[in-house]
Amino acid sequence: VDEGEIRAQVGRARAGGTEAFAELFRAFAPDVERLCRRLLGGSDESDDAASETFLRARRALGSYDATRPFRGWLLAIAAHHCLDRLRRRSTEQRLFVADAPDPEELRSRAPSPLDGTLQAEARGRLLRAIEGLPERYRVPVVLRYYADLDYEAISGLLGVSHGQVATLLFRARRRLRHALASAQGPGAGA
């Protein structure tokens, strides 16, 4: 979608245009829904979270800085909301701290067997592997590589340091490589 057009829509929505906001909703609902699904897992809860995101976004529209991308702003709201839900779900206090590396994970040192030319099937495998990650690794991966948030924003959302974000992402990749390598079996092509 054209960035200028979005800006115009946001302007009209701010002025109280219901139709304009509905347009924005239609344009970005798939993205927001997908982010909620990635963060919360596929459930009724993620649909709720997506709807809630748009309610919050409408209320917060006044504080939106029009010089920043709208998608990023909207996804940050969604991420924030989903993280609240995750925290409520969790019994553990320190949710986003890297745990001790398991020896299996350390063994998969080589860069991923996946390259940029992913076919649909391999893409599906990778997506399932991401979904299979523990929350503490899955969430930063989704925030960084789906919502395109930078480390600063992620560290704000998760309440951890910049360095911790880097560590979580690094460890997440290792786990993914290991998960994929063991699923594919040795010697399987990319």
- Which positions touch other proteins (CB under 8 A)? 34, 38, 110-124, 126-127, 130, 141-142, 144-146, 150-151, 162, 166-167, 169-170, 173, 176
Nearer to other proteins, 91 or 117 (CB): 117
Q: How far is the CB of 190 from other proteins (least distance, A)?
A: 8
In whole angstroms, the minimum distance from the beta carbon of 33 to other proteins comes to: 12
Shorter beta-carbon distance to other proteins: residue 6 or 141 = 141
145: Cβ–Cβ under 8 A, 6 or more apart, which residues? none
Closer CB to other proteins, 20 or 114, in the complex:
114
Give the tokens for residue 113.
Answer: 């067997």
Q: How far is the CB of 146 from other proteins (least distance, A)?
A: 4
CA distance 143 to 149: 6
**The two structure tokens encoding residue 169:** 């992402």
Whole-angstrom CA distances from 68 to 72, 111, 156 are 8, 33, 18
Q: How far apart are CA 151 and CA 165, in angstroms?
A: 6
User: From the CB of 119, what's the least distance to other proteins, in Å?
Assistant: 4
DSSP string for 47-77: HHHHHHHHHHHHHHGGG--TTS-HHHHHHHH
Q: Which lies closer to other proteins via its Cβ, residue 67 or residue 91? A: 67
